[in-house]
Structure formats: C-alpha cells, structure tokens
C-alpha cells in the first residue's frame, strides 16, 4: 500500500491549507486532492497546461506524473499574471540583415484562472518564502515581493523551485540524467531555491520593484488562524486572511467567546402538547422547506 510521507518525515499538528502549502505537507495535500476529486484536479491542471493522467489517482498530489521544467513554469505563470496562461515562445522575432523584422511570433495568451484565484494563491505561495520550505529566501522577498514553491521527490531524486515576481517567473530543476538519489538534504528549498535567488537578484535589477495587484473580487477579514473562524476580541492570535466573496467565515470564534457576537438561531415554535398526550404530528420535527432550483 502506498502511503504519503512528509519528505523530512516530520509530524505536524493541525495545519491550515495556507500553512500546509508553505510547509509542503504531503498528508494534507493528499487529503485535499481527495476532497476536490481527481477528475476536477486533472481538469484544472490541464487548464494551466499540465497534462496529468487521472489513472495515477491520489498520488498525483505528490507529483507521481512526471512533468518537464518547461511545463511546470508554464503551469505557475497564470498565478503570476493574474490568471493568464501565455504559450512559451523560444523565438520571438527574426530580423533580416537590415535589422528589419522578417517574421514575428506574437504572444498567445489564454485566460485560465480568475484574477481572485490567482491573487489568493500567490499570497499563499509568498508564505513558502517567508516561513515555509524556502524560508532562506525571506530576505529576497523583503526587497522584491515574490512567491514560489519547492518540490522534492521521493528518495530525493529531483529538487525543484519555481518562483516569480510580478514581472518574471523562473524555474530551477536539479537531478541526474539517469535518475539517482541526490542524498539527504537534496530538497527544493536547500539546493534549488538558492540558485533561483542568485539568478533572480540579477534579473530583477533591471525592472521596477512592484507588488502583486489585489483584484477587487477579493475580501480580507480578520480570523483566528487556530480555528479558522472570524476573530473574536479574546482570540489570542488574529490574522487578516483573503477570501473570494461568499467563501469567508461568517461566525465568530466559539473557542474565545464569539458566541455573543454570533447571530442567534431562534428555535422553531412548537405547539404545546397537553400533558400525557403525544405531541401533534410533525411538532417534533423542524419544519423543512422545499427548495426548488
Ligand atoms: Zn479564537
């Protein structure tokens, strides 16, 4: 039986999806894929340009289908561009001997994600570089807002890092032509991320420093990160979290005195049954309204 293990074999307690992504937690990633469903995920991956095969089932969550660096960088680019998937071009333009354009390969750009999904995902991927598996890049992100993701395969055969600023996306892969383990410590965060940083420090200097633009269709509410509910005044820890409107929590944290702030659900009024007699039919049941679509 195949069982997902976290790459460092470490154990975490409860994690939010944001933290699970930052720490690259395998068990939670598999549970998430199980929740959204393999067919949905394969369809989504196809939209961003990753041709994954549904037959691989839940192991897809951990990269059981091989992809190229080119495909992986392309798949991350919609998160960097606010939802647009550009087709990669190796030749942009060819000039004739008089430096006149002889032929041109124009960009082909397809919208594949909502700007809100792209933005929230990017904000989650920023955490990878501040406290997650690539926290060595924290100093870089303080100078240049950036987001990214590490990748480490079973047996430490491949180490990846794909990261981006609003203006440039770069992927790094390390491994052997004939796959063999790179040894303990051969992880995306340890070996690939520093190469990414060295290149990006050069690449970003010619561009203006910019942060990712928050689209209008994103709301920010204060939550208790421990419970995921709206932060009550007594919550020991509070954090602003981003949501697509309609998906944000609506109840205050019950563990820290949020009851008083939550709207009270009125119990249904029940006709009183005379002593010793059965209640009138239907009185014990909450009234169910038929919902017609
Ligand atoms: Zn709380």
CA quadruple 35, 38, 43, 49: dihedral sign: positive
Interval between CA 221 and ligand 1 midpoint (Å): 14
CA quadruple 24, 19, 191, 163: dihedral sign: positive
Could you give the percent of the chain with pLDDT greater than 70? 86
Specify the pLDDT at position 54: 92
Interval between CA 238 and ligand 1 midpoint (Å): 8
In whole angstroms, what is the distance from residue 13 CA to residue 9 CA?
Answer: 13
Could you give the percent of the chain with pLDDT greater than 90? 67
Quote the pTM value: 0.82
Interval between CA 254 and ligand 1 midpoint (Å): 7
In whole angstroms, what is the distance from residue 62 CA to residue 155 CA?
Answer: 13
Tally: H helices and E strands in the chain:
7, 9
Q: Quick one: pLDDT band at residue 179, thresholds 50, 70, 90?
A: confident
Pick the more confident residue, 166 or 64: 166
Query: Is residue 280 a contact partner of residue 269, using CB atoms and an 8 Å limit?
Result: no
DSSP 270: -
Interval between CA 32 and ligand 1 midpoint (Å): 24
- The 10s digit of each residue's pLDDT in 18-68 is 999 999 998 999 999 999 999 999 999 999 989 999 999 998 988 888 889
Specify the pLDDT at position 286: 45
Pick the more confident residue, 266 or 229: 229
For the 17-206 domain, the top CATH level (class) is alpha beta
Q: Is 97 a residue whose pLDDT tops 90?
A: yes
Interval between CA 265 and ligand 1 midpoint (Å): 21
Interval between CA 147 and ligand 1 midpoint (Å): 28
Interval between CA 267 and ligand 1 midpoint (Å): 26
Q: Is 282 a residue whose pLDDT tops 60?
A: no
| Portions of the chain given CATH number 3.40.710.10 | 17-206
When mean pLDDT is compared across 33-42, 74-83, 202-211, 282-291, the lowest value belongs to 282-291
Task: Report, in angstroms and rounded to the nearest whole number, the Rg of the chain calculated over CA atoms.
Answer: 25
Pick the more confident residue, 262 or 113: 113
Specify the pLDDT at position 277: 52
Q: Quick one: pLDDT band at residue 185, thresholds 50, 70, 90?
A: confident
- How confident is the model over 205-222, as a mean pLDDT? 93
Q: State whether residue 95 is helix, strand or coil.
A: strand
Q: Which residues pair with 159 in a beta bridge?
A: 152, 174
DSSP 137: G
Interval between CA 252 and ligand 1 midpoint (Å): 8
Specify the pLDDT at position 263: 80
Region at 265 (left for phi over 0; alpha for psi -120 to 50; beta for the rest):
beta
């Amino acid at each position: 039986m195949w069982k997902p293990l976290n790459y460092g074999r470490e154990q975490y307690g409860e994690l939010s999806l944001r933290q699970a992504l930052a720490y690259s937690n395998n068990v939670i990633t598999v549970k998430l894929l199980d929740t959204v469903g393999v067919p949905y995920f394969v369809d989504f991956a196809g939209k961003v340009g990753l041709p994954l095969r549904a037959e691989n089932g839940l192991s897809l969550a951990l990269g059981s289908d091989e992809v190229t660096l080119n495909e992986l960088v392309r798949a991350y680019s919609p998160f960097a561009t606010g939802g647009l998937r550009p087709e990669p071009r190796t030749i942009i333009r060819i000039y004739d001997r008089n430096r006149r354009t002889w032929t041109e390969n124009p960009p082909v750009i397809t919208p594949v994600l909502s700007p809100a999904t792209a933005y929230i995902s990017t904000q989650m991927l920023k955490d990878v570089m501040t406290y997650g598996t690539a926290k060595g890049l924290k100093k870089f992100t303080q100078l240049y807002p950036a987001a990214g993701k590490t990748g480490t395969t079973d047996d430490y055969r491949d180490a990846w890092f794909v990261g981006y600023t609003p203006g440039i996306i770069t992927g790094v892969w390390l491994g052997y032509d004939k796959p063999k383990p790179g040894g303990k410590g051969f992880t995306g965060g340890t070996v690939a991320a520093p190469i990414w940083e060295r290149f990006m420090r050069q690449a970003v200097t010619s561009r203006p420093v910019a942060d990712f633009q928050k689209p209008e269709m994103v709301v920010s509410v204060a939550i208790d990160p421990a419970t995921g509910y709206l932060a009550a005044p007594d919550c020991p820890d509070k954090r602003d979290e981003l949501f697509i409107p309609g998906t944000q929590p609506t109840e205050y944290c019950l563990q820290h005195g949020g009851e008083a702030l939550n709207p009270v659900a009125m119990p249904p009024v029940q006709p009183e049954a005379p002593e010793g007699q059965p209640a009138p039919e239907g009185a014990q049941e909450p009234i169910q309204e038929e919902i017609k679509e």
